[in-house]
Structure 1
Amino acid sequence: MAEAKTPPQPTDSAVRLGLRENWRQFALLILVNAFVGGMVGLERTVVPLLGSEDFKLASTTVIASFIASFGISKAFTNLVSGQLADSWGRKRVLILGWVIGLPVPFLIIWAPSWSWIVSANVLLGISQGFAWSMTVIMKIDLVGPKSRGLAVGLNEFAGYLMVGLTAFLTGWIASETGALRPEPFYLGIGYAVLGLGLSVLLVRDTSEHVRLEAGNHPKVDPVGFKEVFMRTSFRDRNLFAACQAGLVNNLNDGMSWAIFPLFFAARGLGVEPIGVLKAVYPGVWGVMQTITGPLSDRLGRKGLIVWGMWLQAAALFMVAALNGFGWWLGASMLLGLGTAMVYPTLLAAISDVAHPTWRARSLSIYRFWRDLGYAVGALLAGLIGDAFGLAWAIAGVGLLTFLSGVIVAVAMQEAKA
């Protein structure tokens, strides 16, 4: 696809590792990932309300099904994205992600039934599994071992700041127009076109950077996918601790995506203030990762992960127990801060342990477990919400988040980047 326009790839003599040495491509990938994040932000405020208001769905579990479809498809796409990146090249996988994501806003705009929304989210999950995975992996490839936390922090900053901004904009547009669609989703069409165009025309592959870094490590025998999966998921205590924490982190994010708009609406908030609350959480999450990512390079990974999980748990208990926009705004800020402490640090922790020759696969396996949490969280919260009420669903997920932090405190050993 338009390979003739792709800038020439660097030769071995031109390849350097480091943020300063690769700042142009690094900055371009930050911009690309901002558009990737914007595609998720399209759905944070408006889509759950579409389920309850436009499609008249009474079951919280049914409404949450669109997040489950997103999480499952993204998780399994993550699982293969690293293998494809190693065998096919990072850039090609990134472009594939954008091509698959292009129809998503159109499907939501034209959806005559809830099944179309669920189907759109299958495509969105596949798109995110390819595109977001590649922007993370390519930045880690570019900077080398000294600045992984910084690289991941900046990548996730761009993505989740755009999630928050788009969540706010879609809520504001819906409030101004008096309709939940189609106007809020025009943003997504622009994001997809710009992201695809930049990826095709300007992004360069980073395979040479991987080879350069691997040359500075002791040679290892080729490792198969099954071995990498077992090592990442269960056998290595640091990798296991990171995987379960990632799953629970996104479990509570999936719950908030599905439940928070319904919870706040049931307590009298309109679309615009719900959009503000839905924007603050990923907005704080995004911005603070510019601090927590590099901080983990200096202070280590474990403490930030443990305390970040516990801070998230406290924030969820606040949302469930307290009432009023001010309390919920404060809790959303704390939830964003706790997630910012955890999110880039977990990716950096995986990169600390995994050898460059199988790092992409290890990261993809971690992201499989992490993003499976979207489906688990949405469905679990939906079932609890239908049976006991939305406040109990939020508090139950808060308890799981606290226990996940305990597991990290016990199982993870500090490893310097």
Structure 2
Amino acid sequence: MNKFSLWSKDFIFLCIANFFYFGSFYLILPILPQYVVELGGTPSQIGLVTGYFTLASVVLRPYLGKYADEHGRKRVMLFGVGFFALLFVVYSQVQEVIPLYILRILHGVAHGAFIAACFAYVAELAPVERRGEVLGVFGVSNVVAMALFPAWGIAIIKSTGNFAALFTLSFAIAAAAFLAVAFVKEVKPQVKKAKAESIFVVARQRAVWVASLTLFAAATTYGAIITFLPVYAPERGISNFGVFFSTYAGFTLISRVVAGKLSDRFGRRAVIIPFMCLVAIAVFFFPLLYDSYLLMFIGGCFGLGIGAFMPALSAYVVDETAPKDRGSALAFFTAFMDLGITAGSVVLGLVGGYLGYDSMFVIGGIIVVMGILLFAIGTRTSYSAHGRTE
């Protein structure tokens, strides 16, 4: 572990795999609502298509993480990304919305498997003294995919209207991720005769549930922003709301690389709490929005905050969890990102519908502040520089 390098074969192929995996994911994400409409679906069915995917991924992810703890990360990653790729072949054969529900459930299972095993693999690979840095750099592959592939998918549908071609391209990209995973070696927890705890025991560990709820608080506001900003910004006279996402992506890339090292040097709390405060400040600025420059400022603050605290928070979970339980812990933890995004889209969306979007963002900011307080209080006595010894 002391000889780890960011240029090592396994880490490079894992970053490539993550980039292509999320590339295939993001390529179809923005056009799925159109596809549901193409099949004759209703707005409520669009929500169900998204909801079933999230539900399957969230419910099964901790169990898949536990399986990865016991049987190895690579085989679970291969199953997840391989199954994910093959399901794209079926999409173009669907003629009605109901079969699409089943397909999205299966895709959610595959997604849960890959995410659970991939995060555990990186955590196992990273030396304890560089864990924040490694998780931050690894996360860049996801951010770059998010910056590139949704726009590509939208452009394909706008120019051709050919959903089948898009699904075929998604299959090819996911297949590239599968090949990249095939080149990494298997990694299992470096412990002997240690029985992994049950998922419920792992979830009850204070470090795990505190970090998970902290992530949930930030993800809730993220879900509200990505869902309702395209509606909110034009209401404030800003048609070019895309500047938020481009600024957000750029600052997220910067902070993921830089802040990970900071958390290794100064401790996780020293990064997580200040940068979550930056997220809260960004959200509280939305009701004051009046031009594109302020929107770019908000996007920069939000990107810096999210990009910095997420790898540090992930590293905190790894620090405080025994190696034999890390797959389960990270699977449980990352599931709260999906839950938070869904809650932001649905629950805060209802708030926005009844009280207005300004009130929605204020409440979103309050939720982030509650997350900050929870983490500050919940980790005050348990936190150590790098958590458990390896």
TM-score between both structures, scaled by the size of structure 2 = 0.84
Deviation at 1:32, TM superposition (A): 0.5
How many residue pairs end up in the alignment? Answer: 384
Q: Does 1:310 align with 2:277?
A: yes
Q: Tell me the equivalent position of 2:331.
A: 364
SS in 1 for 2:290: coil
Q: Tell me the equivalent position of 1:41.
A: 26
SS in 1 for 2:204: helix
Q: Is the 8 A contact 1:72 1:375 kept in 2?
A: no
SS in 2 for 1:358: helix
Which of 157, 170, 173 is the equivalent residue of 1:188? 170
SS in 2 for 1:416: coil
- Give the distance between the partners of 2:38 and 2:246, measured in 1 at CA: 21
- Give the distance between the partners of 1:56 and 1:222, measured in 2 at CA: 44
Deviation at 1:109, TM superposition (A): 6.2
Identical residues among aligned pairs (%): 20
SS in 2 for 1:206: coil
Q: Tell me the equivalent position of 1:199.
A: 181
Q: Does 1:31 align with 2:31?
A: no
- Give the distance between the partners of 1:393 and 1:108, measured in 2 at CA: 35
Which shifted more, 107-116 or 87-96?
107-116
Q: Does 1:230 align with 2:204?
A: yes
Deviations 1:304-359 (A, max 9, x none): 21222221122223234313333323212221111012110111001111111222
Which shifted more, 91-100 or 105-114?
105-114
Q: Does 1:82 align with 2:82?
A: no
Q: Does 1:252 align with 2:221?
A: yes
Q: Tell me the equivalent position of 2:320.
A: 353
Deviation at 1:156, TM superposition (A): 1.1
The residue type paired with residue 225 of structure 2 is S
The residue type paired with residue 204 of structure 2 is M
Deviations 1:241-293 (A, max 9, x none): 212111122222222332233434666777xx555543443453244211111
Where in structure 2 are there 5+ consecutive unaligned residues? Answer: none
Q: Tell me the equivalent position of 2:82.
A: 99
- Give the distance between the partners of 1:109 and 1:248, measured in 2 at CA: 36
Q: Tell me the equivalent position of 1:405.
A: 372
Q: Is the 8 A contact 1:165 1:279 kept in 2?
A: no
Q: Is the 8 A contact 2:6 2:134 kept in 1?
A: no
Supply the RMSD in Å over aligned alpha carbons: 3.4
Q: Tell me the equivalent position of 1:142.
A: 125
Residues 327 and 173 of structure 1: is their aligned pair in 2 closer, same or farther, counting only changes over 3 Å?
farther
The residue type paired with residue 230 of structure 1 is R
- Give the distance between the partners of 1:117 and 1:330, measured in 2 at CA: 39
Q: How does 1:153-302 map to 2 (within 5 A)?
A: 153-173=136-156, 177=159, 187-200=169-182, 202-207=183-188, 210-211=189-190, 214=191, 223-231=197-205, 236=206, 238-264=207-233, 273=240, 275=242, 277-302=244-269
Deviations 1:56-95 (A, max 9, x none): 9667xx7555443343222223211221102332111111
The residue type paired with residue 247 of structure 1 is F
Which of 360, 385, 388 is the equivalent residue of 1:416? 385
Deviation at 1:164, TM superposition (A): 1.8
Deviation at 1:21, TM superposition (A): 9.2
- Give the distance between the partners of 1:321 and 1:105, measured in 2 at CA: 42
Deviation at 1:376, TM superposition (A): 1.9
Which of 377, 383, 386 is the equivalent residue of 2:344? 377
Residues 93 and 261 of structure 1: is their aligned pair in 2 closer, same or farther, counting only changes over 3 Å?
farther
Deviation at 1:188, TM superposition (A): 2.5
Residues 324 and 110 of structure 1: is their aligned pair in 2 closer, same or farther, counting only changes over 3 Å?
farther
TM-score between both structures, scaled by the size of structure 1 = 0.79
